[in-house]
Structure 1
Amino acid sequence: MPKRIQQALMSLVCLGCITVAAQPQPSVTPTPPPSIAPLVTESERQQVSFGTGFSIGNGFVLTAHHVVKNLNKVLVGSVQTGKWVSSDVVKIDAVLDLALIKTSLELPPLQLAKSDKVPMGLEISVIGFPQPRIQGLTPKITQGIINGYPNLKQQAEDRGYFQISADISQGNSGGPLIGPDGSVIGMVQRKLSSQRVLERTQEWTVNVGFALRSSHILGFLEGTAATVQIKPLETNNLLRPFQIFEKVNTGVVSIIARTEPANR
């Protein structure tokens, strides 16, 4: 691999997990729901990862694989549901960075639209749980546009990633990329590391994120028990940000994954 390409790839960082060895909690740590034990304690020395997921119906939730990777306790929940429940990872794809989770929570499904009809410059929204240790475990919405592709071949063949301008942070990974009509057209997974770019180019680059296109998500779900609702993307149906949030936020959940001793 050419050195310049390798350096560029090194600038991409996973968004989802704030994965840390146990340390004293910052003073800004949000108070978790009463049903959840402390995520990290000095005695357990366990790891914790925060991310976002979204419901596709029948108890199935999608998130990014790196949010749950190598962690044996996966909790799914939200402030809206008022609880977090232990859930099972039933399928993963490490290459696509996808994970399918089965949960007992009853969640309204989000509809998916095929990503082959997504034009450049389309308005998009991201709903998720960025920086939960600082911003808390309530969903946040940011907006932007589809502002590019890693290369023209990916654009033409409906594969790979959208480049997006919406502001995203650690904790957003696994969350839905939402079109202007409220349908899901991808999954937020990564962003460009501004610090690494600054070190190499002396320029500060902001709001360069990447979302896996929904064509990959639909292929990943083939052969599973999950049934997904697919609808045409309505590019002329421009919902306002508060309307998009009201339409889909109850199907967006927080993912908290951690290590736990096997004898528990």
Structure 2
Amino acid sequence: MCSRNPPGTSRPGRKAKLRRTAIVAAALIIASCSVSLAHENPGASFLLIWPSARSTALGGASVALGEDPDASYWNPGGIGLQKSLSLSLSSGEWLPGLYPGMTYAFAGGSYCILNALGNGIDLGFGANATYLTLGETDVINEHGEFLGRYTTWRGAFGLHGGVGLLDGKLGVGAAVKLVRQSRAPDWVWSDMPELGIDARGTGGSFAADIGVLCHLIPDLSAGLALANLGPDMAYDSGGGEPNPLPTMLRVGLCWTPVSNRYVRLKVLPEADKILVGMFYDPDGTKTFDQLLGQELRDIWKSLGIEVTALDILSLRLGYFEDLTGQRGGIVLEKDGVTSHFGIGEALTRTGLGRFKSLGLCWGIGLGWKDYIRLDLSSDAAIYDFPTTNVKVALTMNDVVGLAAEVRRLLPSPRGRSPIPPGGYAPGPRETHYTGSGVLLSQSGLFATCQHVIDDATTIEVDFPEQGTYYTAKVEVEDAQNDLAILRLSLPEQKDSIDVPFALLQPGSARLGMETFTLGFPLTGILGKSLKFNSGSVSALTGLQDNPTLVQIENPVQPGNSGGPLFSADGKLLGIVVSRLNALVVFRLQGTLSENVNFAVKVGYLRNLLAGLPEGKEILARKSRIKGGKTEDVVEQLKPYIGYVRVKVVK
């Protein structure tokens, strides 16, 4: 990475031998990261190794992705746009074909608090760690005597934070990290001065990253990040000159031209540029055009493609070219010499030689929705020497959601009866629950509360205004915020359903805003006809200033749970979730509370929808509710309110 000399070359006049020297270790980093600069060698070049299996498979095109915990490496702007708690661990043998025993590992985690700063502003923070060991080095003098053994390593530990703005359309973040690396110890230098080793001791520095991630339109996002800003690497033994950090600018796009319940396609072009020593011309012999051409040639260029089927299987292919570092691109051979060319050069120039190889990376992922994923990748084809370079990673993008899914699938102890004396075990007990909900899309997405469908054996949704009912399955749920999105088993002809209402923008609710609920409370007493209750927003937070809830004075009864809370103009403001228990308040405070009820803010429903194929279309939908009297607005909404019937068999 730090020199144009091929790996494995040695100094002239070298008498003593090292089975594995710090010089060779530097050559390994050269081969791995390719920061090829003729005038100065950046330190801590291991910071440029792609951290995860997914990003490796995409050829390093990840600055505009921002979905995984490795966003702290690629673009901290993605940290504020993630879901709850996310964790990632990646590891692999590093370039075993060049020299065995080197290992690379990356671990990262982040936690995002939705609406942490109010007005729909989310806050994310976390930490990551990078470690590269170059293995053990045996020191043997010119007489063949074993003098000792040492281990070299590189590592970094970072903290990062980011905010999500504009309803998740814009993320801005920053990271700081401590960088350390060990080279040849002092005793090697003092015992064998003939080696000429001046790269010794343990060095360190600190660095900062900044980044922005913007969702320009529902299917296109753009990322911009500046990484490794900081002072030069300095060494405690005074060995060698301080080295600048490998400061890098990353710019990329993520385009999702296909996204439905069956398949999702992502296309990610990216350009990365090392900023150290640009336009270097010590002799002053090159024109500006020549220098500019060299800088453009130095740019790392990537194109990643990812196809995901049924939210389970992902196939990835990446193209990468680092022409100055002699990695990837189109490799041609002429007169026994191989050279690396860009696609443009290969297509426009002739006589360059015969085709030898192409700089491709590949990978595969197996996962469960967006909750958990196991990835495998290799970028071995971008190197000129035979190697494997396989990387494995485990990623969990929503630990809270994953826990809720697992809890839903496992048997619950609730409602179980012990086996009575005599060994008689009663058969399964069947229990029925009811609630309300609202249709969100023509494809059958339906919102309700998680506690309404918890432990459900079967779920049915009636639409009394339409005279129809459908079975349903849980598509995604958020137990922490008591939300669930179901998918109704709509027949094909139901695709013509045109849902007219829009979701209120987060932060748009105001104290005193007029609201109304639609639902099916106390059906055993009041019947199964749709019920309307009007009221207003009485507080912008819930109990103990819980930021996820809005307090309303609309009357709420059992059965209203999961039903929609609309603004006066027919925009979805929240999902009715609970009411304050007047009897408990009376026992504690000696007074009766009246109409203290709560709904989950629509922003948290938006976050669930953002991870679904139809989510972008729902979030971008404009209201087609015609204004006028309240009864006119209600009339337009009635067909989309559902009565939820749940059967639980234990």
Q: Could you report, residue by residue, the CA deviation over 1:121-171 in whole angstroms, capped at 9, with x for unpaired residues?
A: 00001000011111111110100010113379969xxx4111000001110
Q: Give the Cα separation in 1 of the matches to 2:477 and 2:447.
A: 10
Structure 2 matches for 1:8-157, cutoff 5 A?
45-57=429-441, 58-105=443-490, 106=494, 108-109=498-499, 110-150=501-541
Q: CA 1:232/1:163 → structure 2, altered by over 3 Å: closer, same or farther? A: farther
The structure that has the greater radius of gyration is: 2
Q: Per-residue CA shift, 1:235-260, capped at 9, x if unaligned?
A: xx974331221021111101111124
For residues 47-86 of structure 1, give each alpha carbon's deviation from its aligned partner in whole angstroms, at most 9, with x where no partner exists.
1111111011121101000000001100011212223222
What is the rounded CA distance, in whole Å, between the counterparts of 1:224 and 1:88 in structure 2?
A: 15
Q: Deviation at 1:44?
A: 6.7
Q: Which runs of 5+ in 2 are unaligned?
A: 1-414, 416-426
Q: Normalized against structure 2, the TM-score is what? A: 0.31
Residue 629 of structure 2 corresponds to residue 240 of structure 1 = yes
Separation (CA, whole Å) in 2 of partners of 1:215 and 1:161: 10
SS at match of 1:80: coil
Q: What SS class does the counterpart of residue 440 from structure 2 fall into?
A: strand
Give, in angstroms, the shift of residue 119 of structure 1: 1.3
User: What residue in structure 1 maps to residue 50 of structure 2?
Assistant: none
**1:52 counterpart letter in structure 2:** S
Number of positions where the alignment pairs a residue of Structure 1 with one of Structure 2: 216
Q: Which amino acid aligns with 1:70?
A: D
Q: Distance in 2 between matches of 1:247 and 1:171?
A: 22
Q: Provide the residue aligned with 1:195 in structure 2.
A: 583
Equivalent of 2:647, from 255, 258, 263?
258
Given that residues 108 and 250 in structure 1 are in contact (C-alpha distance below 8 angstroms), is that contact kept between their aligned partners in structure 2? no
Report SS of the residue matched to 2:510: coil
State the AA in 2 paired with 1:142: N
Structure ranking higher on relative contact order (CA contacts 8 Å, 6+ apart): 1
State the AA in 1 paired with 2:480: V
- Given the superposition, is the C-alpha separation of residues 224 and 54 from structure 1 closer, same or farther in structure 2, using an over 3 Å criterion? same
2-structure distance, mates of 1:239, 1:56: 23
Give CA deviations for 1:23-60 in whole Å, capped at 9, x if unaligned.
xxxxxxxxxxxxxxxxxxxx973111111110111211
What pairs with 1:203-214 in structure 2 (closer than 5 Å)? 203-214=591-602
Match of 1:116, SS state, is: coil
Alignment of 1:249 onto 2:638? yes
Inter-partner Cα distance in structure 2 for 1:197 and 1:82: 40
**Secondary structure of the residue that 1:212 maps to in structure 2?**
strand
Taking the aligned partners of 2:622 and 2:511, their CA distance within structure 1 comes to 17
CA distance in 2, matches of 1:152, 1:66: 18
Retained in 1: the 8 A contact 2:509–2:540? no
Kept in 1: contact 2:606–2:619 (CA 8 A): no
**Structure 1: how far apart are the matches of 2:613 and 2:563?**
21
Instruction: Determine the C-alpha separation between the residues in 1 that align with 2:528 and 2:498.
Output: 19
Q: Distance in 2 between matches of 1:231 and 1:154?
A: 31
What percent of counterpart residues are identical?
A: 23
Aligned CA distance change for structure 1 residues 108 and 48 (closer, same or farther; 3 Å): farther
Greater shift after overlay, 187-196 or 99-108? 99-108
Cα distance change of structure 1 residues 152 and 163 upon mapping to structure 2, 3 Å threshold: closer
Closer, same or farther in 2 for the Cα pair 1:238/1:222, shift >3 Å? same
SS at match of 2:576: strand
User: Under a length normalisation based on structure 1, what TM-score does the superposition of the two structures give?
Assistant: 0.74
Q: Secondary structure at the match of 1:47?
A: strand
| C-alpha contact 1:177 1:184 (8 A) present in aligned 2 | yes
- Closer, same or farther: CA 252–151 of 1 in aligned 2, 3 Å: closer
2: distance between equivalents of 1:240 and 1:44? 50
SS at match of 2:632: helix
Letter in 2 for 1:90: E
Secondary structure, counterpart of 2:430 in structure 1 = coil
Please tell me the residue identity of whatever aligns with 1:91: V
- Structure 1 residues 166 and 45, CA, compared in 2 at 3 Å: closer, same or farther? same
Q: Which has the higher strand share?
A: 2
Partner of 1:165: 553
Q: Given residue 581 of structure 2, which amino acid in structure 1 is its aligned partner?
A: S
Distance 1:129 1:91 in 2: 23
C-alpha contact 2:429 2:649 (8 A) present in aligned 1: no
1:253–1:195 CA distance, 2 compared to 1 (3 A): same
CA offset digits 1:190-248 (Å, max 9, x no partner): 11001111111221111111111111110111111233154679xxx974331221021
What letter corresponds to residue 519 of structure 2 in structure 1? G
Provide the rounded CA distance (Å) in 1 between the counterparts of 2:570 and 2:642: 16
RMSD, aligned CA: 2.7
SS in 2 for 1:259: strand
